[in-house]
Amino acid sequence: MRLTVIGCGYVGLVTGACLAAAGHEVYCTDIDEKRIEQLKAGKVPIYEEHLDKVLKHAVAEKKISYTADAGEAIRVGEVIFICVGTPPKDTGEADLSAIDHVARQIAQEARTPKLVVEKSTVPALTGVQLQKALAAYSQRGSVKFEVASNPEFLREGTAVEDFFHPDRIVVGVENEKSAEVMRQIYAPILERKFHCPVHGGQCPSGTRGELLVTTINSAELIKHASNSFLALKISYANVISDLCERIGADVEEVTHAMGLDPRIGTQFLKAGLGFGGFCFPKDIQAFIHLASSVGVDFDMLKAAERVNKQRIDRFFEKIRKALWVIKGKKVAVLGLAFKANTDDIRFAPALDVIRRLLEEGAEVHASDPQAISRTKPLLPAVTYHEDPYAALKGADAALVCTEWKAFRNIDWSKAGQTMSRRLVIDGRNLYSPKKMHEWGFEYYSFGRL
């Protein structure tokens, strides 16, 4: 099938690349001409594991192409995936201006009927507005547009794997015809008829994802309800962690035992610095906003958001208690990205931590396997080191902000010899307190004995 992807950010590129690998002809376009030039030159503008391989393969097979001419991309595709950003406004409400802009482009450029699919994360009822906008902007009343919602459940860092091996594919449609088109698009993924770059053709057997057909409103709601629930779970674990500290219990023991109940599940119960990234913080806000706009009180989510914001305060209480005076101290910050395996620093807790350290007069040395170049322009006062051991040299304290494997594997007995003081404050609970104490470290983490 001929598919158009509008928006070559992380969601658009992963969607385009994976659907091309599944055998479709994909036409990608973006308002950012520089990005399109980069892609044409074979450069992937974001770090996402396996994405470069999938794109390279799709280009070689002539299954994917890039153009800055949105009109051309719109005319050629039978189905158009909208993958543009929906950032938060100051009020927390999702800014849908990019969706509106794309709707106008589609309505004006299309010459043949199109199925227009919302892939961007949008609040419920956006589909209704999109359908209205397509009709209003269309100068040729003869072109028919159908709308569908197909939310993504991709995690940054494992997005390619998630796309090829989904738990579920949700398609919200207006009619059976659109449902059938979406089934055809995803059939190669569900039937595993593609070359999997993650497992080299040896995908684990086991349950395959299910394609669920719903209404558009339900599909939109499923996305926000899922992300907000996961955020809620993290904040719950963080409050349990605070309780553990007061009572003298161990949060890992508590959450592990809780999670063994299949009704609860072990994932997303890791306590620490809290959630960041471009999804949970903005989605939870947008969901609160949507609920209140239709007269539903979602205080529970407001509490989860508040708990998350307070994680940085809790981290600083630990830093202050251990370091006493922050001014003039040399502090090594391990991790900039909002989580491991990505170069994404949007709403990254590490950046808030660094801003506060700088405000209080600390000398900050930071290390991250992927996110240094993105952070440098935002925080030029920091000294950056590719090598974490270089960041730790002479440091009065090490602060762990991201759970990268490279940091998990640090040889602290070696690093301790070069640090000015053996002090680690771990925002991601990466190390064994017992081992750290054996190596002569003062070690503080979240909710552990």
Q: What span, in angstroms and rounded, lies between the C-alpha atoms of 311 and 318? A: 11
- Sheet (strand 210-214) strand order: 64-67, 25-29, 2-6, 79-82, 114-118, 145-149, 168-172, 210-214
Q: Is 274 in the site for ligand UGA (CB under 6 A)?
A: yes
Of 70 and 222, the one with the shorter C-beta distance to ligand UGA is 222
Q: Is 279 in the site for ligand UGA (CB under 6 A)?
A: yes
Q: Is 287 in the site for ligand UGA (CB under 6 A)?
A: no
Q: Is 154 in the site for ligand UGA (CB under 6 A)?
A: yes
Return the number of other C-beta atoms located less than 10 Å from residue 160's C-beta.
25
Of 133 and 273, the one with the shorter C-beta distance to ligand UGA is 273
Burial of 116 (0-12, 13-18, 19+ CB in 10 A): buried
Return the residues of window 304-363 that contact ligand UGA according to CB under 6 A: 338-339
Distance of CA 96 to CAs 88, 122, 127, 351, Å?
A: 9, 8, 12, 26
The residues, ordered by sequence, that sit 6+ positions from 97 with a Cβ below 8 Å of its Cβ are: none
Q: Is 229 in the site for ligand UGA (CB under 6 A)?
A: no
Residue whose C-alpha is closest to residue 223's, from 183, 282, 146, 303: 282
Annotated catalytic residue within 8, 18, 83, 279: 279
Q: Is 280 in the site for ligand UGA (CB under 6 A)?
A: yes
Span interacting with ligand UGA, options 79-87, 105-113, 134-142, 265-273, rule CB under 6 A: 265-273
Span interacting with ligand UGA, options 126-134, 275-283, 285-293, 440-448, rule CB under 6 A: 275-283
What's the distance, CA 411 to chain centroid?
A: 29
Return the residues of window 84-143 that contact ligand UGA according to CB under 6 A: 121
Active-site residue, 244 included = no
- Give the nearest distance from C-beta 377 to ligand UGA in angstroms: 22
- Give the nearest distance from C-beta 253 to ligand UGA in angstroms: 15
Crossing angle of helices 51-60 and 10-21, rounded to 10°: 50
Of 67 and 341, the one with the shorter C-beta distance to ligand UGA is 341
Of 145 and 278, the one with the shorter C-beta distance to ligand UGA is 278
Of 30 and 252, the one with the shorter C-beta distance to ligand UGA is 252
One residue of 92, 131, 153, 433 binding ligand UGA per CB under 6 A = 153
Site for ligand UGA (CB under 6 A): how many residues? 21
β pairing state of 210-214 and 168-172: parallel
Q: What span, in angstroms and rounded, lies between the C-alpha atoms of 17 and 88? A: 27
Residue whose C-alpha is closest to residue 127's, from 168, 172, 170: 172
Does residue 146 contact residue 212 with C-beta atoms inside 8 Å? no
Does residue 160 contact residue 51 with C-beta atoms inside 8 Å? yes
Of 315 and 338, the one with the shorter C-beta distance to ligand UGA is 338
Q: Is 234 in the site for ligand UGA (CB under 6 A)?
A: yes
Q: Is 268 in the site for ligand UGA (CB under 6 A)?
A: yes
- Give the nearest distance from C-beta 334 to ligand UGA in angstroms: 14
User: Which residues bind to ligand UGA, rule: CB under 6 A?
Assistant: 121, 152-156, 227, 230, 234, 268-270, 272, 274-277, 279-280, 338-339
Q: Give me the active site residues, please.
A: 279
